[in-house]
Amino acid sequence: MADIVVQPLEEKYLAGFHTVRSLTYNNGDPIPAERQVMDSPGNKSFIARIGEEVCGACTILEMTATRGPALLKSAGVAGVAVLPELRKSGVGSTMMSWLVSHLRETDVPLASLYAFREPFYRKFGYEVVGKRLKVSCPTHRWPRIESDLPVRRLVPSDWMELHDCYRKFSHSRSGLNMRNEYLWLRVLGENRPLTIYAIGDPVEAYAVVSHQSSFWTTDHLSEVVWSTRRGYEGLISMLGGLAINKAGLSWFEPSDGPYYSRFLDAGVEVKVDRPVMFRVTDVPSALSQLVPHESISGTFSLEVNDSIEPANVGPWRVEFYDGKVEVTAETGSKPADLSMGIHAFTQAFLGEPGLTQLHANELIDVRSNEGLRHAMILMPDQATCCMDFF
C-alpha cells in the first residue's frame, strides 16, 4: 500500500472528507452540499489520504479539562472514520498515532474520546478513566425530600446563570470540560426544546430537561449538576414532581455523586454508562500545570512507558512547592521512584482509578515508598467524569 499521509483538512479534500463521514455516520447518504463546510468555531478536522484519495477522517473539539483546581487544554477526539474498504489496513492506526504527536506539538497535553471499542484506542495510549453512573429511579421509589430553595425555569440563553454552579461542580472533580459560550450553547442548543430547572438564586443545582408529553415513560435528563448539598436535595425534591406522571427518570452522576451512597433503594438501577477514555499526550507539560495547595510540598522521580510518544518516557524529576510544579529531566543512573505505562499514568494523573488503587493492583512499579507518598499528595485520588458528549 502507498504511504498514508495525515494532515489538517484542506478545502480541496472537503468532498472526500464528507464522503468518508457519510459512509460511517450518515447511513451512506451523501452529506448535503450546504452542510459540507470547513471547520466551525472550536473544531478542527483532519484527514488521512493515500495519494489524493481521502481514506480517513477525524475531528477534534477544542476543550479545557479540569484536574481539581487546575485547567488543561484538551482535545475531544470525535468522528473517527475510515473508508469501509480500507478498514484494517492501517489507516485508522496511522491517523490516531499521528494525532497524539500533533496534539503534543500544538501544546494540547490531554485528549479524550468515546470509543466504539476500547481495545482499539488502548493501542494508542488511551485508557478508561473515571465512572459516569447512570441512575434510573422508578417514580414509586423516589426519595422523599423537602426543600425550601426557590425553583426557576430557565432557557439555554440563560447559560451564564448556570456557569458558577457548573464551575464549582467541575473543579471538585477531574475530566470535566470547562465550557465557554460556544461549548455551553453546543450542549444546550440541541435540536429539541430544552428546559432548565434551576435550584436556588444564585443557582446551587440545575437539571436540563427535554419534556416528553407521553405518560408512564422513563425520561432521561440531559444534565444534572450541583454545587451544594442543599442544592442537590432541592433538585431531587423538584424532580419528584416532574416524575409524578412518569414511570421514572434517569440521569448521570459522577462516582462520588450523592444518590448511590445516600438514596439507593431496591428497584433503582445504577450502572456505569458510556465510559470516556483519556490520554496524556505530554507528561511533563501536564504535570507542570497542576495546582497544588500552597501549604504542601514534595518531590519524586517518574518514568512513563509510552511506545507512541517516546518524548514522554523521561525519567522526570517532579518538585512541587508554593502552589506550583516544576518538572525537569532527571539526570544520573538512579532508577526512578515510580515507573508506569502511559495508561496507568493517565489514570493516576486524573485520579480515578488513582494511585492508591493502581498501586494495590500492582499496575505501577514502586521503588521508593516516599516517592509514592509525594506523588499521591500531588495527584490525589479524585472522582473523574465528562458530562459532554462528542
The pLDDT assigned to 28 comes to: 84
The pLDDT assigned to 191 comes to: 67
**With 70 as the cut, is the pLDDT of residue 127 above it?**
yes
Distance (Å, rounded) from C-alpha 254 to C-alpha 175?
11
pLDDT in tens, 176-224: 999 999 899 889 987 677 899 999 999 999 999 988 888 999 999 999 9
**With 80 as the cut, is the pLDDT of residue 38 above it?**
no
User: C-alpha angle with apex 273: 181 to 205, nearest 5 degrees?
Assistant: 45
Fold of 4-128: Aminopeptidase (3.40.630)
The pLDDT assigned to 36 comes to: 73
Short-list 242, 288, 224, CA closest to 67: 288
Torsion of CA 323, 329, 332, 338, to 10 degrees: 60
**Which residues are CB-neighbours of 9 under 8 A, at least 6 positions away?**
17, 38, 39, 44, 45, 46, 47, 57
The pLDDT assigned to 313 comes to: 96
**Residue environment code for 17-44, b if the CB has 16+ CB neighbours within 10 A, otherwise e:** bbbbbbbbeeeeeebeeeeeeeeeeebb
Would you tell me which CATH number, out of the four given (1.20.1530.20, 3.90.1150.10, 3.30.1050.10, 3.90.1720.10), belongs to the domain 282-378?
Answer: 3.30.1050.10
**With 80 as the cut, is the pLDDT of residue 255 above it?**
yes
**Which residues are CB-neighbours of 316 under 8 A, at least 6 positions away?**
283, 284, 287, 301, 302, 303, 304, 327, 328, 329, 330, 336
Could you tell me the pTM of the whole model? 0.94
Cis amide linkage into residue 315, ω under 30° from 0: yes
Kindly report the number of other CB atoms within 10 A of residue 128's CB atom.
Answer: 20
Distance (Å, rounded) from C-alpha 356 to C-alpha 61?
32
The pLDDT assigned to 93 comes to: 96
195 burial via Cβ count (<10 Å: 0-12, 13-18, 19+): middle
Q: Once rounded to an integer, what is the mean pLDDT over residues 72-87? A: 96
CATH hierarchy code of domain 132-272? 3.40.630.30
The pLDDT assigned to 167 comes to: 98
Torsion of CA 150, 156, 161, 166, to 10 degrees: 100
**With 90 as the cut, is the pLDDT of residue 131 above it?**
yes
What are residue 277's DSSP bridge partners?
113, 128
**How far from chain centre, in Å, is Cα 172?**
14
The pLDDT assigned to 331 comes to: 85
Cell numbers that stand for 59 in this block? 475531528
**With 90 as the cut, is the pLDDT of residue 168 above it?**
yes
**Cβ–Cβ under 8 Å, residues 171 and 69:** yes
* CATH 3.30.1050.10 residue spans of the chain: 282-378
Q: Mean pLDDT across the chain, nearest whole number?
A: 95
**With 70 as the cut, is the pLDDT of residue 89 above it?**
yes
**Lowest mean pLDDT, pick from 15-19, 113-117, 208-212, 249-253:** 208-212
Kindly report the number of other CB atoms within 10 A of residue 108's CB atom.
Answer: 20
pLDDT in tens, 308-357: 999 999 999 999 999 999 999 998 788 999 999 999 999 999 999 999 99
* CATH 3.40.630.30 residue spans of the chain: 4-128, 132-272
User: What phi, psi does 153 have (nearest 5°)?
Assistant: -100, 120
